[in-house]
Structure 1
Amino acid sequence: MDHCKPVVVLQRCSQYNRIKIVEIIDAVITSLGVTPCFYNKKVLLKPNLISGKGPEFSCTHRTFVAAVALWFHEQGAQVAIGDSPAFGSSSTVCRQMGIAEEIADLDVQLVDFSSSVQKIVSGNIRVNIAAPVIECDWLINLPKIKAHNQLYVTLAVKNIFGIVKGANKAILHMLHGSTHDGFAEIILDLLNFLPPSIHCIDGITVMHRSGPLDGEALPLHCIGGSLNPVALDTALLELLELEKKKSPLWRVAAERGLEGIQSDKLTFPLLSPVDFRGSGFQAPATLNGIRFNPFRFFLGMGKRLMGKH
């Protein structure tokens, strides 16, 4: 294996079975060459928890989250789960989507992103990063493969937007959502604030055609992982047979020359994207605007506040 190239691990998984997923996560992390001792380390799992009222496949699946939590729990880590959903709090969505019940037998904490640390991204834009992200020893990004009506697809990099605290996400849409590429710049800048991270994506049953809440289910039977979220996204765009330049996040990453954007410079120790070809995944043909209109903004804020109860 060429250790100078970003490593992307792809493996088949046909169903949401905790034992099987634990085995695959072990193979993924081993293949990535991650060798630190996780004992007593603060590990934050960051799934995609957009809403507790969407279809099951709109969020990172409860069994997938529980399996990853179990793997790190068995390493002796202090495991927490948190996100900044579009509607409601992280703990509320975890209860609604069955995650809380799935991890009831584990010593795992559900955390809400209630406190934050202010950071500056390109254009002197202020963002509020959730404090648990800054304070953890390891961030385990657990995105869901989904079509996205504003950014083409949700993959590893897009899921990082959820480290921004609550209402600040909507405010960024309002104030800095004039262009798709400009908004992608903000999300990519967030990568600079991550602690040591592992990115493991739930691609067992995915959402396609539309999204991130209103798409159709599609069995893809894939779990992917990488230490480099840009590399993972590049591999997944190939796997889904999508035109990479249609993804604003990938396009801006390519313009920046970020490591991981060249598919021929990725290393695949297990399966490769070609092994998953023919899935029939469809992304939106045209993209909606990023900026929320004022009515949608205040409606969303009201739903967010109501969802906390």
Structure 2
Amino acid sequence: MLTAMEHISGYIPRHIPVALLRQTGYGRPALRDAVERVLTACGLDFARGERVLVKPNLVSKSNAALCCTHPEVVRSVCAHLLDCGARPLVADSPAFGSAGRVAAACGLTEALRGLGLRAATLDRPTPLRLSDGGTIGLSRRALEADRIVSVARLKAHGQFRLTASTKNLFGAVCGCRKALAHMRLGDSPGRMERLVLDVRRALPPAIGVIDGIVALHRGGPVHGEAFPLGLLGCSPDTLALDAALCAVLGLTPADVPLWAEALAQGLPGADPRAARFILAEPQSFDATGFELAPALSPMRFEPLRFMRGRVKGLLDTFR
């Protein structure tokens, strides 16, 4: 791990807990126990009455069973929060369409039913001033939470190369504003990465939980193939968790633009030397055969692609 970071000077103590656990299936109650184990191993307690936004990745109805966070992982997180007396809100904001329809397509609606919960849409945009200038509409519902649990599936991505718990927070930007940001900022190198980190900085403290039990590769973020990595992960710092996942996959900051930008900004969790592995080490997992895009696609969305998605989202609303 350290060889990827030799260009960084200075000593950083290993103080950010990262819990990586071998988990090969989604069955209850084993998964429920595994989720509780990684959360408690990281020292994460939830107070009675605490408002916790549980933020799955509800990206699309297309290939929903694989491109979205597995519903049983989300359910297990919510069950733990309820046991603690916290008040979970499960919500996301797909670029097109409603969270409820994507949740129904991936099985999350049914998984949450027994807990008395349902997936809501992160709406009510409020302007967030960006570090590069301009604003973007960030969900007031997300901002009103006391804490966030970003529950993402580990996925290859055609534009970011890899996405996990940090990029998942970008879903707090309301609806099609995400696609509009790609159109407006995508031609400027680094702008989208800085936007994602601006969103992370503006939100309440975010815990990362990663569904790498079955990851997505050979495509992404929507279409691709299943890769049984057998990993469940957690950290109170989403960047620390994502850096550990990059180590699992043998990646360096040069491979992952969002990681490189976080390091350039001096965000402590991005430096893998800050991680304290309290369960398994990254080398305990075999990612042989996990395929990422050799060349990244442009960040910018073309107007025709945006309009197609917008029309599809509107049609879904009335179905």
What TM-score, normalized to structure 1?
0.95
- Mapped to 1, the partners of 2:162 and 2:65 lie a distance apart of 18
Which of residues 230, 233, 238 is equivalent to 1:229?
Answer: 238
Which of residues 232, 237, 256 is equivalent to 1:247?
Answer: 256
Letter in structure 2 aligned against 1:6: I
- Mapped to 2, the partners of 1:254 and 1:3 lie a distance apart of 16
- Mapped to 2, the partners of 1:235 and 1:133 lie a distance apart of 26
Contact 1:180/1:248, CA 8 A, preserved across alignment? no
Which of residues 9, 21, 31 is equivalent to 2:31?
Answer: 21
Kindly report the root-mean-square deviation, in angstroms, between the aligned alpha carbons of the 2 structures: 1.6
Which of residues 157, 160, 184 is equivalent to 1:175?
Answer: 184
1:164 positional shift: 0.3
1:18 positional shift: 2.9
1:3 positional shift: 8.3
1:4 positional shift: 5.9
1:265 positional shift: 2.7
Which of residues 16, 21, 25 is equivalent to 1:11?
Answer: 21
Contact 1:179/1:289, CA 8 A, preserved across alignment? no
Aligned to 1:102: 111
Aligned to 2:5: none
Distance 1:21 1:279, change over 3 A: farther
Contact 1:148/1:154, CA 8 A, preserved across alignment? yes
Aligned to 1:186: 195
Unaligned runs of 5+ in 2: 1-11
Contact 1:127/1:168, CA 8 A, preserved across alignment? yes
1:71 positional shift: 1.2
Contact 1:137/1:195, CA 8 A, preserved across alignment? yes
Aligned to 2:305: 296
Size of the aligned set, in residue pairs, is: 307
The alignment status of 1:132 with 2:128, answered yes or no, reads: no
Which of residues 236, 259, 269 is equivalent to 2:278?
Answer: 269
Secondary structure of 1:299's counterpart equals helix
- Mapped to 1, the partners of 2:128 and 2:292 lie a distance apart of 32
Secondary structure of 2:211's counterpart equals strand
Secondary structure of 1:233's counterpart equals helix
- Mapped to 1, the partners of 2:134 and 2:37 lie a distance apart of 39
Letter in structure 2 aligned against 1:279: T
The alignment status of 1:208 with 2:217, answered yes or no, reads: yes
- Counting only pairs closer than 5 Å after superposition, residues 137-156 of structure 1 correspond to structure 2 as 137-156=146-165
Letter in structure 2 aligned against 1:20: A
Contact 2:51/2:87, CA 8 A, preserved across alignment? yes
- Mapped to 1, the partners of 2:260 and 2:226 lie a distance apart of 26
- Mapped to 2, the partners of 1:255 and 1:10 lie a distance apart of 26
Aligned to 2:124: 115
Unaligned runs of 5+ in 1: none
Cα deviation per residue 1:6-56 (whole Å; 9 max; x = unaligned)? 11110011001131222112111111112342x122221100111122141
1:122 positional shift: 1.1
Letter in structure 2 aligned against 1:8: V
1:169 positional shift: 0.6
Letter in structure 2 aligned against 1:223: L
Letter in structure 1 aligned against 2:133: N
Q: Which range moves more in the overlay, 192-201 or 142-151?
A: 192-201
Cα deviation per residue 1:252-308 (whole Å; 9 max; x = unaligned)? 111112112222331001001000134321110000001111111111111122222
- Mapped to 1, the partners of 2:262 and 2:112 lie a distance apart of 36
- Mapped to 2, the partners of 1:179 and 1:144 lie a distance apart of 27
- Mapped to 1, the partners of 2:195 and 2:287 lie a distance apart of 33
- Counting only pairs closer than 5 Å after superposition, residues 85-100 of structure 1 correspond to structure 2 as 85-100=94-109
Distance 1:278 1:162, change over 3 A: closer
- Mapped to 1, the partners of 2:275 and 2:288 lie a distance apart of 22
Contact 2:42/2:235, CA 8 A, preserved across alignment? yes
- Mapped to 1, the partners of 2:185 and 2:221 lie a distance apart of 20
- Mapped to 1, the partners of 2:288 and 2:314 lie a distance apart of 38
The alignment status of 1:219 with 2:228, answered yes or no, reads: yes
Distance 1:139 1:265, change over 3 A: closer
Distance 1:116 1:55, change over 3 A: closer
Secondary structure of 2:228's counterpart equals strand
1:174 positional shift: 0.8
Aligned to 1:67: 76
Identical-residue share of aligned pairs (%): 33
The alignment status of 1:43 with 2:52, answered yes or no, reads: yes
Q: Which range moves more in the overlay, 80-89 or 214-223?
A: 80-89
- Mapped to 1, the partners of 2:176 and 2:157 lie a distance apart of 20
1:244 positional shift: 2.9
1:114 positional shift: 2.6
Secondary structure of 1:7's counterpart equals strand
1:105 positional shift: 0.8
What TM-score, normalized to structure 2?
0.92
Distance 1:278 1:129, change over 3 A: closer
